[in-house]
Structure 1
């Protein structure tokens, strides 16, 4: 506080001091014919010297202010300021004594007015310090008051009384101004402290969010790696000769692994939502195919539970619309899965159509209706809160029998809003619930089909889907380089590839991969991204540079990574990779990617 007050005093030195120097010309000009010129010029020179010293001192203080950490230094500057202020005031006080001329009341009156004006200037320029005002005013007026009293005249006494009254009034006002300035300074410090605390809190929150996102990303990577081994091996076992009991055991293992993977994905999505990094990839979406994919996956679950499952697709829907197919499937999967989970008997109905909103325009509407227990009206919004279990909110809820994190609806609503839509819920206790998921409806033309791919009409009814493990594997030929430092991942991927007739070579890091690529031709490279010695990004960049410098053909490189955070796909593409597959992957997805790139390499 003291340092700020001193800085304010020094900061207001220049203008009042220069104005005071101009005022000094008035008595010199008026008294030039009546007093010795040497006296007047000497006084004016002293005034100029004092003003120059004060201004230089103020400039030096401003220059050194940031380095003043020691209170003793502040005290020293304060003494210097008050000493120079006292000299300035005494130089004015000398006018009231040394420049008084008998018999010229007009001139004396002008000198008196000059001193009062100087004091008034000081009153405002020194407003943040009562002590400085008291010092300057008393040393300026005291000599004049004493001189007038020493004259022993009635006029002198009246002038002295008037000056002292003005002095008292000025000091009273100075006290008030100091109090106001001090209060403003306190408010400024308080606001600065609040702003600093907010900034610290913001930095702390950003650091916490970054740390949490990093932790979630690392944990996601570390969990996905063993999950890739579990789910990969169960897929391979499903394709082997098993009896009924063994197939059931493998199915339990697979469902458990998929459930754990779903939990990891939910936590990762929640972290993206909280950090504002939830990504939406907009493109043409085949509406009928997208909805049927989800319904075919879940309809059997509903039927196994004794529920009727009904899908209604409006014939007025365009075949294709702009959206994010994977995110739409994710939301529908959550909504339909919840409906099946909380319905013991009756019907699950899925309707897809369009609706018109007065503000948003034409909307794509997905409605999932169940005949379950329903949710009380005062609990409808709570179902969208993180970690809330719908089982706990339903009427007459018994002991908890449902699993899950309570994140599905939270993530679904945020996904809907990220895509420009919304997710709402209505319910009648005892009759069921209705979840409505809306998106802006923007029809688009059918995307160009890949060469040799036939156009298939969109399905409009739920049908049977081939069981996993019964599909015929494609028979491929070629040599694949598998680069991964995890023995489990290598075993899973190489087994899947060898089932299709591919030859597989292995490398544990980027350096080994580059050595193998230089001596052996490969149809495809499957590259892990995080490896010791040299990661997959650097290895890919170096091989692409080697291809360009030696005029070699392009070898397809596909990333196989357990990292699923935003920006990973883009980072892979920028490094020179051709595709990206996240662990744990489905065998069908891996083989589809491999088959596509091997065909392209053979054509090239």
Structure 2
């Protein structure tokens, strides 16, 4: 309670006022500041002029009584604990005033007794508790409003980003724009950077609202780290840096963690190391150690760079949201100051902690550990990553013709491998798991356009590479299948060959080794032009069929033609989007893949479309002028058959429960890329 309690005494008897005021003035702690009024009108006037902590109200005030005054106080929106004072005790009066909203009820004879002071204290405590409850409610409402605003902001920003990135990709793929490649690449790079900042902002919002959930899975550690190395090695090489990954102790073959969020933390730390290092090395190290507190094993990651470093007095601030070091900002390295704060929260959710050691001008070491699950029974081995090729992409002039299917659950690695294969002028198609690979291979054979080579990752969700190969062989598929694996245990190559693989490639994929595989299983051509015309139209396939200019400049002409999945019929697609630019872009991206597209800008137009024609896919924006997206989905399902797939396209992640409730199995997050649509429509 406050040191001085401000009391409003509503009493029409002067003697009773002096009696009450005299008793309260004798109290040493707490002290009371009394304002005296005689009726409800004076009380309301006093409330307008001054804030009070408690009100003492006489039950009989001439023509008024306490219940009348309580009602007037409540009608004015005044919230204050009111203690009723009366000349004599009456159970009925007691019940009436308590029902009317009084905090307590006392007889005037009790004013000089301990019960009076206890009543005052209890009323004040209840007031403080109620104030805290009200404040908590206000904060909750503010947080809900903030979450709603950020979700709306995310949607509003993703919609124009869809147009910026999508049209830039189309321009990059057009051979006629070669003279503007640098400018277009700058637009595309900065658009992706803006999307990254938006994702950081929304991630931080979910973290602060305690709505970010992890999805732990079994992770093959060697394969996982090899993928991280492959993803970040090019960025390091672009700055002339050497990226190495090593272990300080034998590592478990498998751990239990959320691969997406663990990869996010590592890539963020390595990206920062690359950003703030102009020369030297970046070293990533792993080790298993035993926690002193729990006695359980933990997995520690460290990222060491030889960059600009940070002053010691700034190290406590960098993990706080929106904090950046001024020297770093002056160096124009950019960023929203959220990356490290997000890393800290993600690491905490994975049962660990993160720290940093740094010397200004000498570099930094970021270390974090996570709970890897029960690894006591896991076999341990040294981390053994293949050395990346030292040859430049143009060092080998291998020209081949043939169709190659690249199978990997990581889109970035699919594209990276596809980039290298496309440089040899082979046709490239993609699949994200073993099931998709099996479907693509069987469809291609049915159409008489079989793949000549499949590059198959071993560890994938849904169906792994070994099971996919066995299924292919059961269907008498004779296509050469090469296993891609990061594992290096003794006898692995022979065991994979025994499973039926034709060859093995290690991760990270060394270009020389890949060239040897391509040369072995595809047809060598002396002239790149011969390779381009040696394949019939429609050879491109499946998810990720298009390679952007940044990935493969030589593929631009190829991508100006419609891209069709092997063996897949032309799909009929209805795009429901009220933003005309976004709708036109979606139509271009889909039609470039050989599909038919119609556009509806409102819910009424959409219903009219489905009444007149059947569609294979309906891409549904959630924000429309005449319908909420989920309401329209319910309405559309009354007009379509079971073969039509409704896909929600939104600027924010829809709740899984809403998708299930409205019988929707697919969703896409804006900005929607060519690769997203290729994967969906394959």
Scaled to the shorter chain, the TM-score interval is 0.5 to 0.7
Distance change >3 Å, CA 269–CA 508, structure 1 → 2: same
Runs of 5+ in structure 2 lacking a partner?
Answer: 1-6, 12-58, 60-64, 74-81, 91-104, 379-458, 470-482, 487-505, 515-546
Does the CA contact (< 8 Å) of 1:311 and 1:462 recur in 2? no
Deviation at 1:225, TM superposition (A): 0.6
Does the CA contact (< 8 Å) of 1:353 and 1:364 recur in 2? yes
Which of residues 393, 402, 405 is equivalent to 2:336? 405
1:69 maps to which residue? 70
Distance change >3 Å, CA 193–CA 398, structure 1 → 2: closer
Does the CA contact (< 8 Å) of 2:162 and 2:673 recur in 1? no
Show CA shifts across 1:268-315 (max 9, x none): 122222222123233344544544444434332322222222233789
1:78 aligned to 2:86? yes
Show CA shifts across 1:181-218 (max 9, x none): 33322322332232222222212211221221111111
The structure that has the greater radius of gyration is: 1
Cα distance in 2 for residues equivalent to 1:525 and 1:286: 37
2:200 maps to which residue? 266
1:326 aligned to 2:409? no
Does the CA contact (< 8 Å) of 1:284 and 1:447 recur in 2? no
1:132 maps to which residue? 109
1:507 maps to which residue? 600
Distance change >3 Å, CA 220–CA 68, structure 1 → 2: same
1:159-198 paired onto structure 2 within 5 Å: 175=112, 178=113, 180-198=114-132
1:415 maps to which residue? 346
Cα distance in 1 for residues equivalent to 2:667 and 2:282: 36
Does the CA contact (< 8 Å) of 1:559 and 1:579 recur in 2? yes
SS across alignment from 1:500: coil
Deviation at 1:247, TM superposition (A): 0.9
2:463 maps to which residue? 449
1:594 maps to which residue? 681
Q: Which moved more, 1:530-539 or 1:312-321?
A: 312-321
1:148-297 paired onto structure 2 within 5 Å: 175=112, 178=113, 180-242=114-176, 245-297=179-231
Does the CA contact (< 8 Å) of 2:286 and 2:299 recur in 1? yes
Cα distance in 2 for residues equivalent to 1:281 and 1:585: 24
Does the CA contact (< 8 Å) of 2:249 and 2:288 recur in 1? no
TM-score, scaled relative to structure 1: 0.64
Cα distance in 2 for residues equivalent to 1:76 and 1:211: 39
SS across alignment from 1:461: coil
Does the CA contact (< 8 Å) of 2:164 and 2:191 recur in 1? yes
Q: Which moved more, 1:512-521 or 1:585-594?
A: 512-521
Does the CA contact (< 8 Å) of 1:299 and 1:462 recur in 2? no
Deviation at 1:361, TM superposition (A): 2.1
Which of residues 232, 241, 244 is equivalent to 1:307? 241
1:555 aligned to 2:644? yes
1:446-595 paired onto structure 2 within 5 Å: 447-449=461-463, 453=468, 456-458=484-486, 460-461=507-508, 467-468=550-551, 474-476=563-565, 477-545=570-638, 552-564=641-653, 567-595=654-682
1:363 maps to which residue? 298
Show CA shifts across 1:491-535 (max 9, x none): 221111111111112222333333322332222222212212223
Cα distance in 2 for residues equivalent to 1:559 and 1:478: 17
Distance change >3 Å, CA 424–CA 574, structure 1 → 2: farther
Deviation at 1:238, TM superposition (A): 1.5
SS across alignment from 1:580: strand
Cα distance in 1 for residues equivalent to 2:302 and 2:510: 20
Aligned length: 439
Does the CA contact (< 8 Å) of 1:560 and 1:583 recur in 2? yes
Distance change >3 Å, CA 66–CA 363, structure 1 → 2: farther
Does the CA contact (< 8 Å) of 1:544 and 1:576 recur in 2? no
More strand by share: 2
Deviation at 1:408, TM superposition (A): 0.7
Runs of 5+ in structure 1 lacking a partner?
Answer: 5-57, 59-63, 83-126, 134-173, 596-604
SS across alignment from 2:644: coil
SS across alignment from 1:381: coil
